[in-house]
Structure 1
Amino acid sequence: MGSMNAGSLSLVWPVLAQVALTIVVLFVLGYFRRQALSSREVRLKDIALSGDTWPTRAKQAANNFTNQFETPILFYVLAIMAIHVGATGWLMTAFAWLFVATRIVHAYVHIGSNDLRIRPLVFLVGCIALIAMLIGVLIAAL
C-alpha cells in the first residue's frame, strides 16, 4: 500500500462515510423487503420479474440505494482526483463532508417521509458541493 500524507487522509474519511451510507441503505432495503415477504404483503412470484409490487417503503429504499450509485460516483472520482492533484486542504475537505452530509439527509428523507419540499433542496446543496469540488480540482490541476 502507498503512503498518504495527512491532507490526503482528510478526503479518505468522507469517502469511507459515503461508502458506509451506501451499505446502511442496502441493509435498510433488505430489512423492508424481508419484512414485506415475511408478512406476505408481497410474494416471491410477484417480484420475480419486476419490483413494481414491493410496498412503498421497500420501493423508497430501493430507489435510494440506486441513488447511491448516481451523483456519489462523481464524488468518488472528484475525491480521488483531488488526492492525485494535491487539492486536499480544509476547503476541499469541508465540501466533501458537506456532500456526504447532504447524502445522509437525502437518504433519511427519501426513505422516510419522502418530502419533496425538502429532498430536492438537499440534493441541490449536494450538487453545489460537487461543483465546488470540481472547481477545486481544476484549480489545483492548472
Structure 2
Amino acid sequence: MSNLITPMFMHIFLCALLYVFLTLARAPSVWGVGKNKDGSNPFADIQPKVSANLSNQFEWPLFFHAVCALLIALGEPISNSQVSLAWVFVIGRVLHSLVQIFTDNIRLRGLVFTINFVAVLAMWLLLFIEQVLV
C-alpha cells in the first residue's frame, strides 16, 4: 500500500466532517431544529464560513490529490520527502479550516494557506525533478 493513501484519506475525512458540520449549522434554518427562541439560527455567523471553507477544499487540494495519484500510479518508491510534504499539507488544511471557521484572522489564514500551497508545490517540483530532469 502506498504511504500517500493515508494523508489522502485524511483530507477526504476532513471534507466529510465539514459536510457534517455544515449540515448541523444549517439545521435550524432548513429543518427548524435548534432555533433560537426568536426563531433565528444560532449558527448564522459560522455557517457561511463553513460553506466557504468546504468550497476551498475543492480548489488547491485538487493539485494535492492529482500529484498523489500520479506518484502512486508511477509505481515507483515514494520518497519520505513526498510523504512528509503530504502530511504537512493535510495538517495545514486542518489548521486552515480551524482558522477560517473559528476566527476572523485573515493574516493567520493566509499564512496557513501558504504552508499548504508550498507543500503541494514542492511535491510537484520534486516529481518534476525526479521524472523529467533526472
TM-score of the alignment, normalized to the shorter chain, above 0.5: yes
Aligned to 2:87: 97
Q: Which runs of no fewer than 5 residues in structure 2 stay unpaired?
A: none
How many residues in Structure 1 have an aligned counterpart in Structure 2? 124
Provide the rounded CA distance (Å) in 2 between the counterparts of 1:30 and 1:126.
26
Measure how far apart 1:116 and its partner are. 1.0
Contact 1:10 1:93 in 2 (8 A): yes
Provide the rounded CA distance (Å) in 2 between the counterparts of 1:87 and 1:59.
42
Q: Which runs of no fewer than 5 residues in structure 1 stay unpaired?
A: 43-53
- 2:107 pairs, out of 117, 123, 135, with 117
The percentage of counterpart residues that share the same residue type is 25
4+ long deviations beyond 2 Å: 35-38, 84-87
Measure how far apart 1:139 and its partner are. 1.9
1:66-104 Cα deviation digits (max 9, x unpaired) = 011111111000101112233611100000000001100
Provide the rounded CA distance (Å) in 2 between the counterparts of 1:77 and 1:122.
21
Residues 1-142 of structure 1 aligned to structure 2 (within 5 Å): 4=1, 9-37=2-30, 38=32, 39=35, 40-41=39-40, 55-85=44-74, 86=76, 88-142=78-132
Give the root-mean-square deviation of aligned CA atoms: 1.6
Instruction: Please report the TM-score for the alignment, with normalisation by the length of structure 1.
Output: 0.81
Instruction: Please report the TM-score for the alignment, with normalisation by the length of structure 2.
Output: 0.85
